[in-house]
């Protein structure tokens, strides 16, 4: 072939070559501007605004006709999962706190623009009765349920255990541990073989920071419940997996999840030299819900920029 000189591909082949992206420069790196928002924080006010895949995620029908409920689906990793699920063909219900309504409505619009049904269900997951109502409403509005993503979490930094009040400790435990327990119990009667439950763990489960005493405990517990529940539900054909992010640029961090000093250098200690963006985890949530991932259960998928476990 005349154009194939010295083993080089011809022009037609070159046009088909993938465009490589350097992960160290793909997204913003520290230093970041110090910033604080009252809990729970809004992504629209963050500097820089996180990338949830609003413009970049392209679906291919991997979750066509599926029905998903994502807690904390208004922002951060939950928002990225919601966008990806919708563009893969799923109808999506999102839960969030009432203070996050403006962020939630942006997600609703993105889901609907993908041609899928979007259900917005505000409410506090610390209330067992609300968790039961959340599942019932999602099932009713979606016409069923086969993907449950327990993404919502509460994180506050405290220099010492002496600074953590019982009320604050209770909020972290209720949001991160009790709520998934209540939600899974309420959802199980509706989950058929092939359904998927996904929990949000963290590198904090394996290498806890000294100032995240209570939050880190909940992520270790999440890792444990994923593995335990996978054994319990495997014979029923229901898969249970978890995702363990490293530092990811979300509203959780700037609303008390990190100190201002840590915000400024956030993610800079990873081998990639930056924090992750929520969009970079979206495909993991798709894979764990997809029928193609049918042998993955009881697994914790890490995404930490070169550090952390597993």
Taking each helix axis from N to C end, the angle separating 213-233 and 166-173, rounded to the nearest 10 degrees, works out to: 30
Distance of alpha carbon 126 from alpha carbon 251, whole angstroms: 19
Task: Establish if 132 belongs to a structural domain.
Answer: yes
The residues assigned a catalytic role are 215
Assess contact for 148 and 198: CB atoms under 8 A. Answer: yes
Q: How far apart are the first and last CA of the chain?
A: 47
Range of the domain at 291: 65-303
Give the pLDDT confidence score for residue 289 in this predicted structure.
Answer: 98
Task: Establish if 162 belongs to a structural domain.
Answer: yes
pTM attached to this predicted model: 0.93
Structure tokens at 286: 């798709």
Of how many residues is the chain composed?
A: 310
Half-sphere exposure at residue 309, Cβ-oriented, CA atoms within 13 angstroms:
8
Distance of alpha carbon 9 from alpha carbon 252, whole angstroms: 47
Task: Establish if 193 belongs to a structural domain.
Answer: yes
Low-confidence stretches of the chain (pLDDT beneath 50):
1-5
Give the pLDDT confidence score for residue 9 in this predicted structure.
Answer: 52
Q: What is the pLDDT of residues 14-60, one digit of tens each?
A: 566 778 999 999 999 999 999 999 999 999 999 999 999 999 999 99
Assess contact for 210 and 158: CB atoms under 8 A. Answer: no
For residue 190, give the CATH number of its domain.
Answer: 3.40.50.720
Task: Establish if 308 belongs to a structural domain.
Answer: no
Q: What are phi and psi of 65, to 5 degrees?
A: 80, 0
Task: Establish if 226 belongs to a structural domain.
Answer: yes
Give the pLDDT confidence score for residue 5 in this predicted structure.
Answer: 46
Give the pLDDT confidence score for residue 4 in this predicted structure.
Answer: 45
Q: How many domains does the chain have?
A: 1
């Amino acid at each position: 072939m005349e154009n194939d000189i010295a083993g080089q591909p011809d022009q037609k082949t070159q046009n088909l070559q993938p465009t490589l992206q350097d992960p160290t420069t793909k997204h913003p790196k520290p230093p970041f501007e110090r910033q604080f928002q009252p809990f729970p924080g809004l992504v629209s006010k963050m500097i820089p605004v996180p990338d949830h895949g609003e413009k970049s995620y392209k679906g291919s029908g991997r979750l066509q006709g599926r029905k998903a409920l994502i807690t904390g689906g208004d922002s951060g990793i939950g928002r990225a999962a919601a966008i990806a699920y919708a563009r893969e063909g799923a109808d999506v219900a999102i839960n969030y706190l009432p203070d996050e309504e403006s962020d939630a409505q942006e997600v609703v619009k993105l889901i609907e623009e993908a041609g899928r049904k979007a259900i917005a269900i505000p409410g506090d997951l610390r209330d067992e009765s609300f968790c039961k109502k959340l599942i019932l409403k999602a099932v009713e509005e979606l016409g069923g349920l086969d993907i449950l993503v327990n993404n919502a979490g509460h994180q506050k930094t405290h220099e010492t255990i002496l600074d953590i009040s019982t009320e604050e400790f209770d909020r972290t435990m209720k949001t991160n541990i009790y709520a998934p327990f209540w939600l899974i119990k309420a959802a199980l009667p509706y989950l058929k073989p092939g359904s998927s439950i996904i929990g949000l763990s963290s590198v904090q489960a394996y290498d806890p920071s000294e100032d995240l005493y209570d939050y880190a405990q909940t992520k270790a517990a999440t890792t444990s419940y994923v593995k335990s529940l996978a054994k319990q539900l495997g014979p029923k054909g229901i898969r249970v997996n978890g995702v363990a992010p490293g530092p990811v640029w979300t509203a959780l961090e700037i609303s008390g999840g990190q100190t201002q000093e840590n915000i400024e250098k956030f993610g800079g200690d990873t081998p990639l030299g930056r924090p992750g963006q929520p969009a970079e985890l979206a495909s993991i949530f798709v894979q764990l819900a997809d029928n193609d991932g049918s042998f993955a259960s009881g697994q914790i998928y890490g995404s930490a920029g070169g550090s952390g476990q597993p």
